[in-house]
Amino acid sequence: MTVFDFVKGVFQKDKSIFKLSNSSKINDRWRGKSFNQLAREEQKRIRSTTIHAIIFEQKHPYNSDTSLYQVFERINTGGRTLMPQEIRNCVYHNNVNQLLIDLNKLPKWRSLYGSLEFEPRMKDMELILRFFTLKSDKVKNDDTMQISLKKELNLYMGETTNNYSECIEKSRLSFRDVIEFIYSHFGENAFHNLNSKGEEFVPRFHPTIFDAIAIASANALEKGIVKGLNVDELLDKRLKLLKDETFKKYISERTTRIEHINGRINLASQYLYGVSYV
């Protein structure tokens, strides 16, 4: 579309005049000129030049763009290699991506994540996507031994439903309520692990602890069993959870095995709220 805009003379986005920059990288014959300021022969050459394009069409699944991620990933070899969420941000221009962008700005999420600055490689956004993906019935009820997390995150980004707008708004409220609850009941180190001696919290966000506590808390909120919970008791229960040997295994070994995903969420749910997740 850049060439199209140049020939038309204006940018489609804001209707400003499209002129080439004054950069020394551009030949001084064309530097700072608009299309109409080029010589007639130069205009004719541009208009008659063929720009080749390859159109990719995904036939299965027909309502998803997951193949675009694979194509983008394979051609992404020059310059700085993009991280998975950066690719998703390029490929999936939909309400799910906008939802992640919006939720990533929540002040209490920024505090829990441990940085007020947005992660330049979008790892913070990917964690929010993890929350929705691992919480979904599709993953919860998966009968395979292990999932490909990258594939499942892609599928969630590209999925569509008949009640799409309602689904997006429900997801927005769910994540916001979970973050509000966790921040007020567990504090800024809610998703941190204990050190090797089990005496102090390490100053680092732990993704699989986030999976476990956030999804377990969402489950408890949905069941309406969080009213009147004692904060001190919850903090004590979290310490016991983090010291549980099985929980330690589930958050550190083969973390994408279904048994370990559901296992760590279930243990968090039982320790913290006294209910089962699975």
Each residue's pLDDT expressed in tens, for the chain with a length of 278 residues: 678 888 888 877 677 888 888 888 888 888 888 888 898 888 898 888 888 776 666 666 666 666 666 666 666 666 677 899 998 998 887 889 999 999 999 999 999 999 999 999 999 999 999 999 999 999 999 989 999 999 999 989 887 544 567 788 999 999 999 999 999 999 999 999 999 998 899 999 999 999 999 999 999 999 999 888 889 999 999 999 999 999 999 999 999 999 999 999 999 999 999 999 97
Residues 104 and 158 in one domain: yes
Task: Measure the CA–CA gap between 119 and 128, rounded to whole angstroms.
Answer: 13
Query: So what's the pLDDT on residue 90?
Result: 85
> Which pLDDT score is estimated for 16?
81
Give the pLDDT of residue 75. 64
| Helical (H) or strand (E) element with 53 | none
Asked, for residue 185, whether it belongs to a domain, the answer is yes
18 occurs within a structural domain: yes
Specify if 31 maps to a domain: yes
- Number of domains present in the structure of the chain: 2
Last residue of a domain, one of 12, 27, 48: 48
pLDDT at 92: 85
d(CA 46, CA 114): 51
Residue 132 belongs to domain spanning:
93-273
226 within 8 A of 253, measured Cβ to Cβ = no
Q: What is residue 26's predicted lDDT score, i.e. its pLDDT?
A: 84
E strand intervals along 76-171: none
d(CA 86, CA 265): 27
Last residue of a domain, one of 48, 63, 81: 48
